[in-house]
Structure 1
Amino acid sequence: MKIGILGAMEVEVQELIENMENIKEETISSITFYSGTLQGKNVIVARCGVGKVHSGICTQTMILKYAPDAIINTGVAGSLNADLDIADIVISDNVVQHDFDTSAFGDPMGLISGINLVKIPCPKELVQKIKEAADTIEGTNVVVGTIASGDQFICSGEKKDFIVGNFDALCAEMEGAAIGQVCYINNVDFCIVRAMSDKADGSAHMDFPTFTQIAAKKSTQLINEFLKCI
């Protein structure tokens, strides 16, 4: 089984790359792809860049060039749920694009043109395997649910309420649903893993870099545990 792993920022994939063996590098469309083994499994790791366009380009390139059996997007997100604190983990069972809006034409908020879905589903078996790996990490609150993506850094209560009210999402970030859309179109399994780096309301602004490091390390730990058990 070959697993593709994507992260938007260097901090989200750096430790994974550093621990890979038999590593080969190739740069395509300004994105460096690292292929090799991690925890004895075949992997391709890439830093896609921030936002839906970057992540979509990276995902499609990875699929065409390396043909992974599944793609996991690891990283950090802003919590939209009062019960989710810094470094808690959300595993997607579906993803939505909260900024996709053709409601002026009578469509539901978030309906993606071309695939006619609001919530793009993740394969249940893959989600369950990642959840089982997450449950081995001590002292970590792990939940499964909707992850919302958009080309916006969410930092206001009003926007949080909008996303939760329309999509019942647990956390917000900027790449996962674009990755999910590309995988869905290509019939490639995917799942999004996010550790909470902030509360998406501006309250952690001054400590965001510190919290991001903590959260990214927790996501990396989960990926390693998942690879051990597949």
Structure 2
Amino acid sequence: MKKVTLIFLLLANVSLGQHYKPRPVTGLLGAFGAEVALVNQSLKKPKTVIVDGITFTTGRIGNQRVVVAETGIGKVNAAMTTALLLDHFRPQRVLFTGIAGGTNPDLQPGDIVIAGRTAHHDYGSITDKNTPTRQTRNALTKQFNPVYFPADSALLKVAETVVKGVSLEGIPLASGGVSNRPVKVMTGTVVTGDVFVASPTKVSSLRADFGADATEMEGAAVAQVCYQIQVPHLIIRSLSDRADAEAHIAYDKFYPTAARNSAKLVIAIVQALGK
């Protein structure tokens, strides 16, 4: 507990953001076991490291040293694991792999959204001038963060390039076959909140208020920590459902395929970074 307390004290201290010294390692995070297991299977010479009860697995993918961890579901869990990752391993970049609900009507389960930007859709505050804002406040600078946390431009470019050569799986049809519709991959907006969205009404509001292409429960929390510590990050999301009234049914059916697609892309990105 002492170390966890120390980490959050450090996060409130501007010196950490100014003096963060990265090591030649890439941090790979996922929300739950199925997502992380797919990445761990690709590791060479894996080694387990326990940090305050959180399991991190170090190893190599291609020529890249990586450290992999399961964050757990939700923004607090994601932020805590990200803080532990940054404090203990000092990665030079962080990639997040996982599934999401689609809010863009042109997308379906199995498709991928590379997050060009992420935002908290369930955050709001009133400023000292009684002006409402969706901006979080940076604990290091005491200034407002942007509403949308931008992905690292170099990582984004690598992802957009390598995905063209990744073999992605189509969603199985009820008849037992596989859809012949190509898997769509787009760079877009991913929004985060501590709620599993299964409502067409909520989907419409997320689309109207944020221009959201996908919604999930961890990405913006990871992005905010990385943004404040100035560590490059990228969030990759593959759709397991359309966040509508049938979301729970679609999620159970499609999340294995969605998780594999997201993990394949993240692994391909890491391999490309080592070339």
Q: What's the Cα RMSD here? A: 1.4
Deviation for aligned residue 1:103: 4.8
Match of 2:211 among 135, 159, 168: 168
> For structure 1, which segment, 39-48 or 22-31, has the greater mean C-alpha deviation from structure 2 after superposition?
22-31
What is the 5 A alignment of 1:101-116?
101-103=124-126, 105-108=130-133, 110-114=134-138, 115-116=144-145
Matched with 1:81 is 104
Q: In structure 1, which of residues 71, 96, 120 is the aligned counterpart of residue 149 of structure 2?
A: 120
Q: Which amino acid counterpart does residue 71 of structure 1 have in structure 2?
A: V
Partner residue, 1:132: 161
One-letter code aligned to 1:141: K
Question: Does the 8 Å CA contact 1:197/1:212 hold for their aligned counterparts?
Answer: yes
- Three-state SS of the structure 2 residue aligned to 1:61 is helix
* C-alpha distance in 2 between matches for 1:107 and 1:116: 14
1:80-110 deviation line (CA, Å, top 9, x unaligned): 01111111000111110000011584133x2
How many angstroms apart in 2 are the aligned matches of 1:205 and 1:187? 36
1:135·1:142 contact (CA, 8 Å) conserved in 2? no
One-letter identity of the residue aligned with 2:61: L
Structure 2 residue aligned with 1:58: 81
- What is the TM-score normalised by the length of structure 1? 0.95
Q: Secondary structure at the match of 2:98?
A: strand
Conservation of the 8 A alpha-carbon contact between 2:163 and 2:265: yes
1:100 to 2:123 alignment = yes
**Structure 2 Cα separation of the partners of residues 95 and 204 of structure 1:** 21
Task: Determine helix, strand or coil for the equivalent of 2:237.
Answer: strand
Where in structure 2 are there 5+ consecutive unaligned residues?
Answer: 1-23, 139-143, 168-181
State the number of aligned residues.
229
Q: Is the 8 A contact 1:39 1:224 kept in 2?
A: no
Q: Hey, what does 1:188 align to over in structure 2?
A: 231
Query: Which of the two has higher C-alpha Rg?
Result: 2
Q: What is the alpha-carbon distance in structure 2 between the residues aligned to residue 165 and residue 30 of structure 1?
A: 40
Q: Distance in 2 between matches of 1:50 and 1:227?
A: 24
Following TM superposition, the consecutive aligned residue runs of length 4 or more in structure 1 with deviations greater than 6 angstroms are none
Q: Is 1:153–1:174's contact at 8 Å kept on the other side of the alignment?
A: yes
Separation in 2 of the partners of 1:209 and 1:187?
36
Query: Could you tell me how far 1:40 is from its partner in structure 2?
Result: 3.0
Aligned equivalents of 1:36, 1:14: Cα separation in 2:
13
Q: Does 1:212 align with 2:255?
A: yes
Partner secondary structure for residue 100 of structure 2 = strand
Residue 141 (1) aligns with residue 154 (2): no
Work out the CA distance in 2 between the residues paired with 1:97 and 1:148: 6
Residue by residue, what CA displacement relative to the aligned partner does 1:149-184 show, whole Å, maximum 9, x if unpaired? 000001101111221111111100000000000001
